[in-house]
Amino acid sequence: MATTDRRATTLALAHALSAAERGLAVIPLARTKLPALRSPHRGAPAPGPVPCRGECGRFGHGVHDASTDPARIRALFAAAPWATGYGIACGLPPHHLIGVDLDARPGEPEPASSTALRELALRHLFTIPPTVVVLTPGGGRHLWLTGPPDTVVPNSAGRLAPGIDVRGAGGYLVGPGSRTRHGTYTPLPGTAHLAPAPCPRALLRLLLPPPVRRAGGGEPVAGGRGLVQFVLAAHEGQRNTRLFWAACRAYENGIGPALLTPLLEAARTTGLPEREARATIASAARMTTRRP
């Protein structure tokens, strides 16, 4: 077993270095598809409203460890000799990668998510251009697209359509060649040589949260969309803290009541229970109100 694991780690590192040569920032993943290195801050009090993103200089900050530097990538894998895969960070230059994850259920002749994406394309008049496609062990597909450098695409789960998840800023895709508990991720034949294609503008509009408007209509709330995107970009371990920080900024700027519903919706999208999200926002409101 140890020999097999070492071989899997060696292959994962080779694939990760190859991806880095294409400008894709990578991190090592365990067989669970989660980052292989645990946070160095686990068990310690949170360092502040915004979690450490690697400023401490240690490994274990998930996607914030991602790099295209071969020396750093080798160091990351050396620190995680149990890694059998690698993740590709989304939203970073030069590609500003967007991942469209089409889930599949066992026994489906064609994934319902693929049908849903086709229906969206027909309804909103766009086509998916030839691009990199990665096949997942469960029968799903990851479509690689690129976004504009001045646009932050948030992570989402099922918001576009049931069975379709989106990986954007703060998220990552499991790279082809990675081995997991359920199998190996492989490129769809004929797509491995392609560069990620630009995301169609009509699809890009669907991936972005709608502008946040003042109660009763009117112009969008200044800064509101950025705060909502900040919450949407959270991954597990950051959701509550990001929501609290965004809510504090909203109430400090006098737009807390207008952003209550959008922030709750964003928190639910990331998987935070509504009751917990409401308590977090209420705590931020109380804290901000007490400040002189």
**Domains of the chain, CATH where assigned:** 1-88 (no CATH), 90-207 (3.30.2250), 224-290 (no CATH)
Q: What's the confidence (pLDDT) of residue 118?
A: 94
**DSSP string covering the chain:** -HHHHHHHHHHHHHHHHHHHHTT--EEEE-TTSSBSSPPTTTTSPPSSSS--SSTTS-S--GGGG-B--HHHHHHHHHH-TT--EEEEESS-TTTTEEEEEE---TT-SS-HHHHHHHHHHHHHT--PPS--EEE-TTS-EEEEEE--TT--PPPEEEEEETTEEEE-TT-EEEPTT-EETTEE-EEPTTTTTSPPEEPPHHHHHHHSPPPPB-TTS-SBPTTHHHHHHHHHT--TTTHHHHHHHHHHHHHHTT-HHHHHHHHHHHHHHTT--HHHHHHHHHHHHHHHHH--
The string of pLDDT tens digits covering residues 120-142 is 999 999 999 999 999 999 999 99
| pLDDT at residue number 254 | 80
What's the average model confidence in pLDDT over 232-245?
Answer: 78
- 92-106, 139-153, 264-278 — which is least confidently predicted? 264-278
Residue 160 binned pLDDT confidence (cut-offs 50, 70, 90): confident
Rounded mean pLDDT, 95-107? 91
| pLDDT in the model for residue 154 | 83
